[in-house]
Structure 1
Amino acid sequence: MSDNNSERKRSARERLQAEREREKARGRRRRTFMVAGGIVGVLVIAAAVGFAVSNIKSGSGSGPVTAPTGAVGKDNLAIPVGRNGAPSTLTVYEDFRCPACDSFEKGFRDTVHGLMDSGQLRGEYYLVRLIDGNSGGTGSLNAANAAACAQTAGKFRDYHDVLYDNQPDERVDKFADKNYLLQLADKVPGLKTPTFTSCVHNGTYNAWVNKSNANFNSSGYNSTPTILLNGKSIFGENQPLTPEQLKSDVEAANKGKSIPSH
């Protein structure tokens, strides 16, 4: 590996860690604000909680929870990517507005795609909306709904990658604009059909996204991205990870196991 390649990978890891630290700091500031509100008075807490609930439910709809086609796992909250029968599973909790998720995606995409395409790894993606709750807005919700619409259309992975390739600054809630999400769908051949357009505009999977978010909030994890390999956390605070290490870990976990050919 050249010195330039090593430097780029090190820089990517440093950016990813920095983004996670900034996200944790935002969460700490938010918790501090709520505690301070309790000291000032119960009414302030009630107002703050009401505001937060309003933000997280904004545009959510009140209909029944409908899962996208092919969703798996408990309550059908996971979107699968990769071959059935792959011996290892990568679980990803992500928020399309989350800068740290974008850094992980950009740093690990080629490795993850390669492991999935070779049948060594299957992904299960849980879409959450932490940034909507922390910063306000509906961009996380609308982008996740659009990604679920793409799943039903059989084009989740391609659209998932397009969303990250076009992620706005998290302070600019551009993903709240459904027309922008539809413009991005033009980058995935065959995706923007009348059915997909209606699904995005109607928020068909909003309730499903909110249920996925609630599941994450009760999981014990508190930041995105949260990455698990075969149920074990492999990336997080004090858990540095490189693409090379991920590939090595998957190969070790798969030793002696059958790899599906298609």
Structure 2
Amino acid sequence: MSEKNREGKRTARERLAVEREKQRAAERRRRGLIVGASVVCVLGLAAVIGVVAANSGEDDGSDSAGPVVAPSGAVGEDGTVIPVGKEDAKATLTVWEDFRCPACKAFEQTYTPTLHELTEAGQLRVEYHLVTLIDNGMGGTGSRNAANAAACAQDAGKFAAYHDVLFENQPMESDDAFAENDRLVELAGKVDGLDTPAFRSCVEDGRHNSWVAKSHDAFQKGGFTGTPTVLFDGENIYQDRSMTPEKLKQMVQEANKG
């Protein structure tokens, strides 16, 4: 074999080794973005735990300053819970979400039909907490503005429907389209009776911005590491890889037998 051929084979082996190492490194990075057993919404290639820790005092800014105005019907010890379903339901699901978070959208796409069925049957109460994790990690105000708009929809008694519309029309994680109030108002047109002067004023004024900041602060103080965080009667079921809508339905029905 000529020296040229040997050199060519050696170079090819080296290229293959480099490529394999790149693949292994990529896999290590992917695993590093897994929190516990669940895939959480991560910010680019940054580990979400580091992002949460770094953002405890960031980007509250003047836009979030001012008195905390909770939306109508908000409950909870800190007043940051938006409830959906009957108050006396025997089972409770607590959901922490960011409207810019792709993993939150995936959760909603999978579980929304089941959640609607159970809440409408009076068997389940869902308590929503709104988070601005993506804004703080990638920049922008889409998480906050969408959360404010959702709180405005709660004032109008149409949170659940508008919540679903926002996730159905979620932009790419890197696209801060929800920062545009015009887009949020446009999407309100998909919910019967929501696009009113009162709703528009609430959105454009950022009436609930400080409340959204308070909700995100509660998320950080709770020690949660990513979105969505989904708790069934206090237990984090999003970390359970065996969890399915059908399994959740069975758990709710069991709770209602007690």
Q: TM-score, structure 1 length as denominator?
A: 0.79
Q: Which digits, 9 at most, give the CA deviation of each residue in 1:220-253, with x for residues without a partner?
A: 11100000111221112x5442111111111122
Distance 1:25 1:97, change over 3 A: closer
Q: Measure the CA separation in 1 of the matches of 2:68 and 2:41.
A: 33
**Equivalent of residue 28 in structure 1, options 24, 42, 47:** 47
Contact 2:135/2:142 (CA < 8 Å) preserved in 1?
A: yes
SS, match of residue 96 in structure 1: coil
Q: 1:74-153 to 2 correspondence within 5 Å?
A: 74-153=77-156
Match of residue 244 from structure 1: 246
SS, match of residue 63 in structure 2: coil
Distance 1:26 1:53, change over 3 A: farther
Q: Which amino acid aligns with 2:47?
A: R
Match of residue 197 from structure 1: 200
| Seq. identity, % | 50
2:173 matched to 1:154?
Answer: no
What is the deviation of 1:24?
Answer: 7.5
Distance 1:99 1:58, change over 3 A: farther
Q: Measure the CA separation in 2 of the matches of 1:29 and 1:61.
A: 23
What is the deviation of 1:80?
Answer: 0.5
Match of residue 228 from structure 1: 231
What is the deviation of 1:84?
Answer: 2.0
SS, match of residue 39 in structure 2: helix
RMSD: 2.4
Q: Which amino acid aligns with 1:179?
A: D
* Structure 1 residues without counterparts, runs of 5 or longer: 1-16, 35-48, 257-262
Distance 1:230 1:181, change over 3 A: same
* Structure 2 residues without counterparts, runs of 5 or longer: 1-35
Q: TM-score, structure 2 length as denominator?
A: 0.80
Q: Which amino acid aligns with 1:243?
A: P
Contact 1:90/1:123 (CA < 8 Å) preserved in 2?
A: yes
Contact 1:92/1:226 (CA < 8 Å) preserved in 2?
A: yes
Higher radius of gyration, 1 or 2: 2
Distance 1:82 1:57, change over 3 A: same
Q: Which amino acid aligns with 1:121?
A: L
Distance 1:147 1:122, change over 3 A: same
Match of residue 44 from structure 1: none
What is the deviation of 1:31?
Answer: 3.0
Q: Measure the CA separation in 2 of the matches of 1:27 and 1:105.
A: 24
Q: Measure the CA separation in 1 of the matches of 2:41 and 2:181.
A: 27
Q: Measure the CA separation in 1 of the matches of 2:38 and 2:182.
A: 28
Q: Measure the CA separation in 2 of the matches of 1:255 and 1:30.
A: 38
SS, match of residue 113 in structure 1: helix
2:191 matched to 1:188?
Answer: yes
Q: Measure the CA separation in 2 of the matches of 1:146 and 1:29.
A: 25
Match of residue 171 from structure 1: 174
Q: Which amino acid aligns with 2:103?
A: A
What is the deviation of 1:26?
Answer: 3.8
Match of residue 253 from structure 1: 255
